[in-house]
Amino acid sequence: MKKHFVRFYSPGTFMAEMTERPIDDWNIKQAVRMSKKVMERYNAKPYGFRFITRHRSESQLDSTIVKESPLYYLSGTISTYKDVVLRNDPKEEILRSNMRCNGYKRVITTQTPWRWTQPLQDSDIVLTEEGEEMPCTT
């Protein structure tokens, strides 16, 4: 048996909150629509999602993940290390340090409604509010 899911990620206290829902196929626009109905603690809404395909044979009790999509961000602001350094915002001192020490080239900041900043990986995809892919050239 094979089944598809979409896992939504929302800002949490120390780590992301996750909610997983079944989906017929890896349909980005459907996942964007579904994201609008997900709410976590403190009214946090998803900043992103990824698709997961699970498989289980008749002899298995539990399914295993056999395929996983990149992380799709539901819009956000992309900043390079250079951008963060040039802003020289005292509130971003730890961010500058983390980016420098960990070699992060880019970060993405979302507001759903909580501000959430994390490294933007090369495989990640940033979407517009309508679910269209945004170019990530920075």
Q: Is the pLDDT of residue 22 over 90?
A: yes
pTM for the whole structure: 0.89
48 and 92 share a domain?
A: no
63 and 107 share a domain?
A: no
Confidence of residue 138 (pLDDT cuts 50, 70, 90): low
61 and 87 share a domain?
A: no
Q: Is the pLDDT of residue 18 over 80?
A: yes
Instruction: List residues bridging with 114 in a β-sheet.
Output: none
Residue pair 19/6 in contact (Cβ under 8 Å)? The answer is no
**Mean pLDDT lowest among 24-38, 80-94, 106-120, 121-135:** 121-135
80 and 69 share a domain?
A: no
**Residue 100 maps to a domain:** yes
**Which DSSP state fits 122?**
T
Q: Is the pLDDT of residue 137 over 60?
A: no
**Residue 138 maps to a domain:** no
pLDDT at 131: 82
**Residue 89 maps to a domain:** yes
Number of domains in the chain: 2
Which residue range is the domain that position 34 belongs to? 2-73
6 and 31 share a domain?
A: yes
69 and 100 share a domain?
A: no
7 and 57 share a domain?
A: yes
89 and 43 share a domain?
A: no
- Tell me the per-residue pLDDT of 25-78, one tens digit each, with 9 for 90 and over: 999 999 999 999 999 988 899 999 999 999 988 887 788 899 999 999 998 999
* Average per-residue pLDDT for the chain: 92
Residue written as token pair 């602001």: 77
Confidence of residue 112 (pLDDT cuts 50, 70, 90): confident
